[in-house]
Each structure stands twice: as C-alpha cells, then as structure tokens.
C-alpha cells in the first residue's frame, strides 16, 4: 500500500470514491448535496490543500483531504474535510495511514489542532475517531422549523392552572400565610379552599398565569408552615408541572414534556420524571398508580390533554380536585 500526494490525474478516482461515500453514508435529510460544488472543492484541495490517496495493485482505494483553516476562525487550526476507504481495503490500517500523513503535513504548516465533521449516524467512523483522540467540542442540533414553532408557541386559548396543595387541616394558618405572601407576587389576594382529606388548595390569579409565582407561593407556604406542599400547574397551555416540597425544600419535580422549553442534559431530563418513592412518602399515594399516571413524553400530543392529565395526577396523589 502506497500513500502519496494526489494530482489532477487522480480526480476521476476521487470522484468515484466520493460518490461511493455519499451512497454509503447518506447526509442528514435537511442537507442538500450539490455534487458539482463538492467536486469543485475537491479539485481545489488537490490543487491548493493537502490531498492524499492510498494506492495498491488495484488502483486508488482511499483518500483524505485536509487544509488549514482561515485566520478569522482561529490560528493554528486545521481540518480534515474528507476521508474514505473502500470497504475491501479496510481493517488494514489504510485510514490510519492516510490521516497520519495528513496530520504530519498539517503540523509542518504550523497547525496545532485539527477538526473534522462527521454525521451523527456514522457510528463506525465516530468510534474510530474517538480511538484516535478526537473529542466532541460542539454539537450542531437540527429541528424541522415547522415542528419547532409548533412546539414552542403557547397554545392559543389553552388551559391555565396554578394550585398549591398544603398538607394540613388548619385553614386559618394557611389563609394567614398565603394572604401575607400574596403582595410579594403582585397579587391582591388568594383563595384558600376548605380542607379536603387532609389537604387545603390555595389558588391565586397571578400564580395561575405565572409558573415562577406559583413556585414561589408553594415554597413560601412550605417554608412558613413546615408542611408538605404540592404545586400543580399548566404551562403555555400545553404541559403540566408538579413540584413537591417539604419544609421549603424541593424534593421532587415533574414536567410532562421535560424538554418542552428547550434541550436539557440527559440527567435533567431524567430528573423531571416523577419519583414514585418520594411522592408516596409525601402523599401516601400508591407508587404503582403514580407510575401509571404521572408520565412524560417528547411532545404534548403524546399525552392526554393537559387539564385531563393534571386532574388525573391530582387524583392519583389523593389531592383535592383541581376544579371546584
């Protein structure tokens, strides 16, 4: 196997290999490939960049293209733009030899780090690159625009809900605590329901429309009274949020569509699923029923309507009805 500099005479072979790569590893659906432009860029790199081919008795079986990056994107940077080896020539170290020679030439040009792009679906290549020492530094996230707008836009005329349930029968204590805190969230007053099965529902107009105000109200009530408080709200007319507190500390939080408001780290997505063990301890509810009702999804359309879901959650936790 020979690794050598590509010349203009190799362009037909490079085109052949590039087309095989495109067939083997299709681009993402949102990417439109302009073959004429891509082949023109290959010719440019053969002329002005780093272009290497791997050749055996059967001819050219692989290639790599690389270049230094423009000064405005950072000095001492280079990139590998293309790398492909025919299947029959793989597992013989051809790709490694191509990249080693390309990296050596980039180093001679003063490059200190090298980048490359790889399709997320190309698991095999990503494994190899990771073994060579490449690490993710940025991610390009893609979403269909129509679906993104639909997901982020509040549901016109969608239901609104904001209730804090306090675990006590002492109506007077709850009413005094809620009334003293109401001005701090811009409210002129709150409605405090009569106790039902050991729970008192606190409803406030501002907290109904403002999830942050509802959270503050629930935390204040739990902190002042030293009680278990469960807040239940509907956000953007589409998703249900539950927050369970004890003595002012949040012990569990649930959002029916964890990434409704934007992407989250995987751990945060998991954390926004209800914890049946914690909710059982705080409310006495059956963990199996909690798991069956308090579900998450990737889209509101995969769940019951938010008002129906919130009512089901309240019933599963033994809370008073959300409507009155």
Alpha helices in 133-170 (DSSP H): 145-152
Chain mean pLDDT for the chain: 90
Span 184-206, average pLDDT:
92
| Nearest CA among 81, 79, 59 for reference residue 10 | 59
Name the pLDDT band for 5 (thresholds 50, 70, 90): very high
Q: What are φ and ψ of residue 250, in 5° steps?
A: -75, 120
Distance set, CA 81 to CA 127, 310, 323 (Å): 18, 51, 60
CA gap 175, 194 in Å, rounded = 10
Residues 6+ apart with CB under 8 A from 279: 244, 252, 285, 287, 290, 294, 317
The string of pLDDT tens digits covering residues 254-311 is 999 999 988 888 888 899 999 999 999 999 999 999 999 999 999 998 999 999 999 9
Q: Provide the pLDDT for residue 120.
A: 81
> Phi and psi dihedrals of 205, rounded to 5?
-65, -45
pLDDT for position 77: 87
Whether pLDDT at 221 is above 90: yes
pLDDT in tens, 25-83: 766 665 667 788 999 999 999 999 999 999 998 899 999 999 998 654 455 789 999 99
- pLDDT for residue 141: 78
Question: What's residue 261's pLDDT?
Answer: 86
Residue 219 has pLDDT above 80, yes or no: yes
Tell me the C-alpha distance between 42 and 230, whole Å.
61
Give 1's pLDDT tier (boundaries 50, 70, 90).
Answer: confident
Q: Which residue has the tokens 């940025």?
A: 138
Q: Coil, strand or helix: which one is 136? A: coil
How much is the pLDDT for 29?
62
First-residue to last-residue Cα distance in the chain: 80
164-185 pLDDT, tens digit each: 999 999 999 999 999 999 888 8
Both tokens of 316, joined, read 């599963």
Q: Tokens 């309507």, residue?
A: 305
Question: How far apart are the C-alpha atoms of 28 and 207, rounded to whole Å?
Answer: 43
More confident residue, 91 or 11: 11
pLDDT at position 121 is 80
Q: What is the pLDDT of residue 17?
A: 94
| Cα separation, 42 vs 52, whole angstroms | 11
Encode pLDDT of 129-169 as tens digits: 999 999 988 878 777 787 776 666 655 567 889 999 999 99
Query: Regarding beta strands 77-85 and 113-116, do their DSSP bridges make them parallel or antiparallel, or are they unpaired?
Result: parallel
Instruction: Let me know: does 320 contact 313? Beta carbons within 8 Å.
Output: no
Q: What is the pLDDT of residues 231-247, one digit of tens each?
A: 999 998 999 999 999 99
CA distances from 229 to 61, 124, 221, 223, 310 (A): 68, 50, 7, 9, 16
Which 8-state DSSP code applies to residue 144? -
- Pairwise CA distance, residues 260 & 296, whole Å: 11
pTM exceeds 0.75: no
- The arithmetic mean of pLDDT across residues 309-318, rounded, is 97
Which strands sit side by side in the sheet containing 59-68, from one edge to the other? 2-5, 50-56, 59-68, 77-85, 113-116
What is residue 34's predicted lDDT score, i.e. its pLDDT?
A: 78
pLDDT at residue 129 in the model: 92
């Amino acid at each position: 196997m020979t690794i050598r500099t590509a010349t203009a005479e190799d362009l037909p072979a490079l085109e052949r290999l590039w087309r095989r790569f495109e067939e083997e590893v299709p681009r993402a659906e949102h990417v439109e490939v302009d073959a004429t432009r891509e082949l023109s860029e290959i010719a440019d790199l053969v002329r002005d960049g780093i272009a290497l081919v791997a050749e055996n008795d059967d001819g050219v079986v692989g290639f790599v293209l690389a270049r230094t990056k423009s000064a405005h994107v950072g000095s001492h940077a280079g990139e590998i733009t293309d790398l492909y080896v025919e299947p029959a020539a793989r597992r013989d170290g051809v790709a490694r030899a191509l990249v080693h020679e390309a990296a050596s030439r980039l180093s001679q040009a003063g490059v200190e780090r090298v980048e490359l792009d790889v399709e997320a679906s190309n698991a095999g290549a990503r494994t190899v690159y990771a073994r060579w020492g490449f690490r993710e530094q940025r991610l390009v996230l893609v979403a269909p625009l129509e679906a993104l707008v639909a997901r982020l836009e509040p549901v016109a005329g969608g239901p609104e809900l904001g209730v804090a349930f306090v675990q006590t029968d002492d109506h007077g204590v709850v009413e005094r605590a809620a009334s003293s805190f109401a001005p701090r969230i811009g409210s002129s007053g709150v409605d405090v329901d009569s106790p039902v099965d050991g729970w008192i529902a606190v409803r406030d107009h501002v907290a109904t429309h403002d999830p942050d105000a509802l959270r503050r109200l629930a935390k204040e009530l739990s902190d002042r009274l030293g009680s278990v408080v469960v807040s239940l709200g509907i956000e953007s007319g589409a998703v249900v949020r539950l927050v369970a507190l004890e003595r002012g500390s949040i012990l569990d939080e649930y959002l029916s569509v964890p990434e409704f408001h934007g992407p989250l780290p995987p751990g945060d997505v998991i954390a926004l699923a209800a914890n049946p063990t914690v909710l059982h301890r705080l409310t006495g509810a059956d963990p199996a029923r909690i798991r069956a009702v308090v579900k998450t999804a990737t889209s509101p359309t995969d769940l019951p309507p938010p008002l129906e879901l919130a009512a089901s959650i309240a019933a599963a936790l033994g809370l008073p009805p959300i409507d009155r």
